[in-house]
Amino acid sequence: MKTLIQRVEQLASPLLHLADGLRPLVLLFLRLWVANVFFSSGLTKIADWDTTLLLFTEEYHVPLLPPAVAAVMGTFGELVFSSLLAIGLTGRFAAAGLFVVNLTAVISYPGLTETTRQFHYYWGMLLAVIACSGPGLLSLDRLLSWWSRQPQDD
């Protein structure tokens, strides 16, 4: 039995190395995909602020916040966190922030259909992956970390 397991591991090894090599690209793709969803939503909100305020007053029922405050915070979160996520700056923080924005949308909007709710769950899972694993090698976080470890010439 042990030799069978060793043989399977030996056969799978090249695939695992390929997967490791693709991880930075996959994380970049996930970051850009989710950031685009939330950034586009934020742009829609600032394009017609009167409608956004009306929606937060009549449709979205954000717990504990007045509608105008919820509108500002939601729009700010969508635009700022998605921008940070896209470039990979404070990537875990940005993903966690968007996770909270997404969770708030699911909780506060009773008009979500089952299909749109599934989209929110999907985005939430992607954001959880990024928050747990970090933004990856192709991020500003990684570049700044590398740069800060370089010897400084004075």
Q: Are 71 and 56 in contact (CB under 8 A)?
A: yes
pLDDT in tens, 90-100: 999 999 999 99
- Whole-prediction pTM: 0.86
**Does the pLDDT of residue 78 top 80, yes or no?**
yes
**Does the pLDDT of residue 76 top 90, yes or no?**
yes
Give the residue-averaged pLDDT of 114-141.
97
Other beta carbons within 10 angstroms of residue 95's beta carbon come to 26
Q: How confident is the model at residue 10 (pLDDT cuts 50, 70, 90)?
A: confident
Radius of gyration for the chain, computed over Cα atoms and rounded to the nearest angstrom? 20
pLDDT in tens, 17-30: 767 788 999 999 99
pLDDT in tens, 45-67: 999 999 999 999 999 999 999 99
Tell me which residue of 135, 131, 123 sits closest to 28, measured CA to CA: 135
Task: Please tell me whether residue 134 adopts helix, strand or coil conformation.
Answer: coil
Q: Are 130 and 139 in contact (CB under 8 A)?
A: no
What pLDDT does 16 receive? 67
Tell me which residue of 78, 91, 69, 84 sits closest to 40, measured CA to CA: 78
